[in-house]
Amino acid sequence: MRFLFFFSLLLFLSCNTSTKTEKKELKTSVSKNDTIQSYTAEEIKLETLRSWEAYKKYAWGYDVLLPLSKSGYNWYKESLGISPFDAYSTLAVMGLTKEAKEIEEYALSKDWNQDVYVQVFEVNIRILGGLLAIYDHTQNPKILEKAIDFADRLLPAFNSPTGMPYHSVNLKTGKTSGNQGEGKGNVVNVAQAATYLFEFGILSYYAKDPKYYQAAKKATKAVFSRKSEIGLPGDFIDVESGKWTNNWHYLQAGVDSYYEYMFKSNFLFPDPEIKEIWEYSLGKINKYLAEDYNGKRFYTCVNMHTGEVVKRSVSLYDAFFPAVQALHGDLENAEKNMETWDWIWNKYGLLPTRYLYEKDAIEYANSELNPEIIESAYYLHQITGKEKYINMIYKYWNDLKLCCRNDVAFHSIENVSTMEKKDYLATFFYAETLKYFYVAVADKDLFDFNDYVFNTEAHPFKRNHFDPEKAKEYLGIE
């Protein structure tokens, strides 16, 4: 009865208010509703299929689906077809074999000899990561050839005086370009400088050629060796001079996956040097970035030289960190950190891109349905078995469905306070967001958490495909 009344109220609100108010009311109703509505793996699978059909119908051949205008969008002057590479592993994990096979065939038809400058960081995690996930799943040697061809076109970017890659590289000519275009700017952020250990390690393993892992390791060490006197890196660095151009440090986008990879690559390819770098870095994160503020745990922004707080701000990307802490075995900090993210979600019904916790205010209000908070709740649920984490995931799904589901797929949000819509569906929605919702409730015989390690784009790799002894030889680990 209460449910019927609640449902009629929602219907009344949705028919009698402007679009913006309607979304706000709907969203608030769900976040404050005590009754947690669960969902099934089948529901997520159907929603994934629906969203994938929308990409195929309206945006096939483009990088991204624009779900409101029902059209496609390319990152560069030519399409790379990023969505299919990101979607493959999610479709495969869900057993959508026909759709996955179509992408495998599409990947085989790709000619990477494209005269286009691509961001090395972004295409590494999405396209190389996606190709390697297809290979890990199918063992199709022709896919491995495609992955090798693609990675060989990225490698010239690493020929800088420091070993850190230039921002972009031309897939056809191998010419590099800076962050301000051809021949302009040599600055990259830390994530762009050093998020390669995982994919390049996998490629070295499968290709039995250490050159990829060694390039990635050199880049990671180039960042680490330039740490300050108190042991912290900055956030932006010139890949030619090796000098920091900005001296802030944090876990946000621009740094995040630098840490994620020095930690995670060790699961597949134990490397004592990288392990030492990770343990040292984690100590510094706990010492300088962790801040308890108004009873909540935040990981803040500090000056790399003094460790002083420069801004009390967090971004939704940082929500990946409880997952890393939990995997590392630091459940106490992981759970404190997760509680803060869930608290921010409850304020808005989705996470804003950036939140100023000192002012309790939104800094950037948009949201692209990013996966990190779901990812961390998933890891914590798998590792602790606590029901509160699966309940968080149920809530995230219900809220996301209410604000962002449309007639063909899902859309982003311009402003989480008003729920104004944005005509964009990020490729990581297919790779990560939908996958985490699915594996959180899937049967263990369909997907067992203990069997896989994910790249930062949630492309899964089977642990037992990699033998640590062989890894030493194939990756050149001493």
Roughly what angle, to the nearest 10 degrees, separates helices 372-384 and 321-328? Answer: 20
C-beta of 82 vs 289, nearer to ligand DMJ: 82
C-beta of 128 vs 471, nearer to ligand DMJ: 128
C-beta of 119 vs 176, nearer to ligand DMJ: 119
C-beta of 26 vs 289, nearer to ligand DMJ: 289
CB of 21 to ligand DMJ, least distance (A): 29
- Strand 313-315: give its sheet, edge to edge: 313-315, 354-356, 361-364
C-beta of 237 vs 373, nearer to ligand DMJ: 373
**299 phi, psi to nearest 5 deg:** -115, 110
DSSP string, 33-100: -SSPP---HHHHHHHHHHHHHHHHHHHTTSSEEETTTTEEE-SSSS---HHHHHHHHHHHHTT-HHHH
For 363, residues 6+ apart whose C-beta sits below 8 A from its C-beta are 313, 352, 353, 354, 355, 356
Whole-angstrom Cα distance, residue 320 to residue 192?
A: 17
C-beta of 235 vs 256, nearer to ligand DMJ: 256
CB of 358 to ligand DMJ, least distance (A): 24
C-beta of 289 vs 477, nearer to ligand DMJ: 289
CB of 473 to ligand DMJ, least distance (A): 29
Residue 222 corresponds to which tokens in the numbers above? 């180039």
Identify how many contiguous H helices and E strands the chain contains and give both numbers.
20, 20
Question: Tokens 């950190």 appear where?
Answer: 337
Greatest C-alpha distance within the chain: 70
C-beta of 86 vs 136, nearer to ligand DMJ: 86
Whole-angstrom Cα distance, residue 215 to residue 194?
A: 10
Number of neighbours of residue 139 by Cβ within 10 angstroms: 11
CB of 111 to ligand DMJ, least distance (A): 25
End-to-end, the C-alpha distance of the chain in Å comes to 67
C-beta of 90 vs 370, nearer to ligand DMJ: 370
C-beta of 92 vs 251, nearer to ligand DMJ: 251
C-beta of 94 vs 127, nearer to ligand DMJ: 127
Q: How far is CA 391 from CA 42, 377, 385, 387, in A?
A: 18, 9, 12, 6
Report CA Rg, the chain. Answer: 22
CB of 288 to ligand DMJ, least distance (A): 22
CB of 456 to ligand DMJ, least distance (A): 4
**Residue 150 near residue 128 (C-beta atoms within 8 A):** yes
CB of 391 to ligand DMJ, least distance (A): 23
CB of 251 to ligand DMJ, least distance (A): 11
CB of 432 to ligand DMJ, least distance (A): 6
- The footprint of ligand DMJ (CB under 6 A) covers 125, 253, 256-257, 317, 370-372, 428, 456-457
C-beta of 144 vs 416, nearer to ligand DMJ: 416
Please give the helix or strand (H or E) that residue 219 lies within, else none: helix 211-224
Helices (H), 304-405: 321-328, 331-348, 372-384, 387-404
Whole-angstrom Cα distance, residue 254 to residue 189?
A: 5
CB of 406 to ligand DMJ, least distance (A): 21
CB of 219 to ligand DMJ, least distance (A): 16
Name the 3-class secondary structure at 367: strand
List b or e across 291-326, with b for residues whose CB sees 16 or more CB atoms inside 10 angstroms. Answer: eeeeeebbbbbbbbeebebeeebbbbbbbbbbbbbb
CB of 133 to ligand DMJ, least distance (A): 14
How many Cα atoms sit within 13 Å of 40 on the Cβ side?
A: 3
